[in-house]
Amino acid sequence: MRPLDLFLALATVVSVQPSHAAEAAPDIVRHELGSWESDIGYSGVVRSGDTLHVSGVACGGEDMEAAVAACYRELGAILQRFGASADQVVKETVYTTDMDALVRAIPARKTFFPDARYPASTWVEVRRLFGAEHRLEVEWTVQLR
């Protein structure tokens, strides 16, 4: 059989098989964490199947350690709301206005992740965050059980 004939035969077999894609598509549910979200046009948390996508939580404070404590405390509360824990955080993106200060605050951040079960993480220094008083913004992807 020529390669083209084989391809066409396989394509015909595949195309007549019932599609289960619609059945497998996860429900997408948006959760508002604060009234300002609709003003800006975003959802604080979007649940897609067994995955939570947590929008960036921005925090300020007298220094970076205070900002780290505030952000991770708020993120912890979001996890609790969905019956999750820190060991289910699979991806983290951190935006900061001062990378050197964030590096010095690593010990404070690490206390949030028990048993050193850290997520994949990317840290980015930016000129400013949404609020001029914010030092840090953290977004997460969480795998629910």
Looking at residue 15, its pLDDT comes to 43
Measure the CA–CA gap between 133 and 135, rounded to whole angstroms: 7
Do the Cβ atoms of 105 and 65 come closer than 8 Å?
yes
Looking at residue 25, its pLDDT comes to 63
The torsion angles phi and psi of 85, rounded to 5 degrees, stand at -135, 170
Contacts of 2 (CB under 8 A, 6+ apart): none
pTM: 0.80
Q: Which of 88, 71, 105 is nearest to 143 (CA)?
A: 88
Residue 9 banded pLDDT, cuts 50, 70, 90: very low
Do the Cβ atoms of 55 and 64 come closer than 8 Å?
no
Do the Cβ atoms of 33 and 78 come closer than 8 Å?
yes
Strand 89-96 and strand 120-125: the pairing is parallel
Could you tell me which residue, 3 or 46, shows the higher pLDDT?
Answer: 46
Q: Which amino acid is at 78?
A: I
- pLDDT value at 13 more than 90: no
Looking at residue 90, its pLDDT comes to 98
User: Tokens 């949030």 appear where?
Assistant: 112
Contacts of 139 (CB under 8 A, 6+ apart): 53, 54, 55, 56, 57, 92, 93
pLDDT digits (tens, 9 = 90+) for 23-73: 666 799 999 988 888 888 999 999 999 999 999 999 999 999 999 999 999
Tell me the percentage of the chain whose pLDDT exceeds 70.
83
